C-alpha cells in the first residue's frame, strides 16, 4: 500500500519538528557544557591562587623511540 503525497508531507513535517526540538536541546546542552568548563577552570585557578594547589599538570610531549629512529621521507 503506497502512501499518498499528503501523508508523506505530514510525516516529513513531523520529522522536521522532532529534529528541530532535538537541535534546540543539543544547543542547550552544548551551551551548558561550555559554562561548566568556564566555571571549573575558574575553580582550578582559585585553588591555585588561594591554596597553592597544583591541579593542572604540565606535560611535555616526548617523542616515542619508534618515531625518533625512522628516517624522514623526501
Domain boundaries, the chain: 5-68
Q: Model confidence over 16-66: pLDDT tens digits?
A: 999 999 999 999 999 999 999 999 999 999 999 999 988 888 777 777 766
Q: What is the pLDDT of residue 53?
A: 85
Q: What is the pLDDT of residue 4?
A: 96
pLDDT for 73 beyond 70:
no
**Minimal CA–CA distance to 44: which of 53, 35, 34, 57?**
53
Q: What is the pLDDT of residue 60?
A: 77
pTM of the model: 0.61
Here the contacts of 64-67 (C-beta below 8 Å, separation 24 or greater) are none
Q: What is the pLDDT of residue 15?
A: 98
Amino acid at each position: 500500500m503506497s502512501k499518498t503525497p499528503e501523508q508523506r508531507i505530514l510525516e516529513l513535517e513531523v520529522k522536521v519538528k522532532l529534529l528541530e526540538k532535538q537541535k534546540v536541546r543539543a544547543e542547550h546542552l552544548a551551551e551548558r557544557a561550555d559554562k561548566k568548563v568556564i566555571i571549573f577552570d575558574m575553580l582550578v585557578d582559585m585553588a591555585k591562587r588561594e591554596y597553592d594547589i597544583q591541579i593542572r599538570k604540565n606535560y611535555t610531549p616526548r617523542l616515542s623511540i619508534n618515531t625518533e629512529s625512522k628516517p624522514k621521507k623526501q
